[in-house]
Structure 1
Amino acid sequence: MTSTRTLGVLLLSAILFTGLACSSTSDDSEEASAPNTLTQSETEAGWALLFDGTSFEGWTGLGRDSIPEGHWKIEDGTIHKVESGDVPTAPDGQPLEGGDIMTTDTYRNFELKLEWKTSKGGNSGIKYNVSDSLSTAHEPQYAALGFEYQLLDDKRHPDSEEPSHRAAGLYDLIPPNEQKSLKPVGEWNQARLVFRGNHGEHWLNGKKVAEYNLDTAEFDSLFAASKYADIAGFRTRRAGHIVLQDHGNDFWFRNIKIRELSAAE
């Protein structure tokens, strides 16, 4: 038989548990934000939106004064890279129509985060430390030259046969490590990128998957063997645009946020 005292303790415990659960739910909902908005804690930490969910304000086509019409559009709160279709391509597969888009502002030391999802067999990238003039001086004219956080459907795109070309790696330089956990096609992945001084980090879905220091002998060797080795000024530049790559395939981006860092942070 359960005593009156025991029933009282059980009732009090249930009330306390319910109160804690409600409190936790309230805190979580306060921190959760609608797509393309900032939470209070993000605002206090210095984060800023690079995409407002409704317009291309703060963006332009690389080497252009506007967004390449028909190749990029705002759709359901996302930036949608539209499938290029049957168009001429460069040797590396980048389409010769359309082109990359970039932030109008440049950034030197920063932390960037965004969500992305791909179509089947999709290929794109987040490029950073990009010079508009350096990029347009090389072919293809509207493709950015800069360090690249690779975005890819690893299971279906043939580029994944090269380890340093797989999703979240530093393209053509450093492959992602075994911590990588990629969401299935059609689901949102979370990318986070840190570039400060000579140090860079790539994160995917909460796990650090690539890290590098530009001033090391190891990076010297990697760079010398990469496609960028003979591009003057590529490695020494420290401030540039953030770029979303047009590699011809359907891709979607949202929740693009950045905070600038001090060099010593």
Structure 2
Amino acid sequence: MTQRAFITVLLACLAASMTAVPAVGAAANQLTAAEKAAGWKLLFDGQSTTGWRCFKKTTFPAKGWRVEDGWLHCLGQDGGDIITDAEFDSFEFSWEWRLAAGGNSGVKYLVTETRSGPTAHEYQMIDDAQNDDAKLRNGRRVTASFYDVLKPVGAKLSPMGQVNQSRIVVRGGRVEHWLNGAKVLDYECGSDALKAAIADSKFKSTPGFGHKIKGHVLLQDHHCDVWFRHLKVRELQ
């Protein structure tokens, strides 16, 4: 290969590698003027863990979580789940995430610290192809499911290692799960249909499960690598 040809190939490879990296700096962990006007607030600024703490504690975990390259990274090293300082009633919560191959995690909402543990409604995040848990319960444990209770419909998950975008909408007792721009699940808290689904789930003996309450948002430490960014929330009327 001539020197000129080598340089041409090198430049082409460099250009390809640059375009393959997500443009984190411009948009991630920032709000546009329109988003601010619509009432959105950041829950993670890409630099600190302000606004988050351990479940039933006042401090952030001393291990197992770290901020790196604009991501909030759970290392899966028993750091524990983390929750928002604030509680939310009717709200919309949106985030971007990446998960290690074979991984399993989730975002819980309507979380109350009056329970002994962080049992709550969970938006499942899992490697649908490689994690055996996703193959259980007839779709009620795949990504974007209401974990172990309701399955999503039409969910299109990006491959592990790539960025997925998720959203939870709680308006009164009505709840929606979104994945990569599409609504894939909705239900009504306290409805007969939800009660029946819960009665057929692992949460059938959990008092008050499925009722609409004001609560925290929780990021789960499920003993695997998972990355979160662009965590934002807005309260709804």
TM range (shorter): 0.7 to 0.9
| TM-score, normalising length: structure 2 | 0.86
1:196 corresponds to: 171
SS in 2 for 1:133: coil
Given that 1:197 and 1:238 are in contact with CA atoms closer than 8 Å, whether structure 2 keeps it comes out as no
2:48 corresponds to: 55
Q: Rg bigger for which structure?
A: 1
Alignment partners' CA distance in 1, 2:226 and 2:233:
20
The partner residue of 1:41 within 27, 34, 39 is 34
- The equivalences for 1:1-265 within 5 A come to 33-84=26-77, 97-134=78-115, 137-138=116-117, 144-162=118-136, 163-177=139-153, 179-262=154-237
> Residues 225 and 170 of structure 1: is their aligned pair in 2 closer, same or farther, counting only changes over 3 Å?
same
Amino acid in the other structure paired with 2:96: E
Give the deviation of 1:33 after TM superposition: 4.7
Given that 2:173 and 2:212 are in contact with CA atoms closer than 8 Å, whether structure 1 keeps it comes out as no
* Corresponding pairs, count: 211
The runs of at least 4 aligned residues of structure 1 exceeding 4 Å deviation read: none
1:24 corresponds to: none
Given that 1:110 and 1:259 are in contact with CA atoms closer than 8 Å, whether structure 2 keeps it comes out as yes
Give the deviation of 1:236 after TM superposition: 2.8
Let me know the Cα RMSD of the aligned residues.
1.4
Alignment partners' CA distance in 1, 2:102 and 2:73:
16
SS in 2 for 1:120: coil
| TM-score, normalising length: structure 1 | 0.77
1:34-53 Cα shifts (integer Å, max 9, x gaps): 21010011011000000011
Identity %: 41
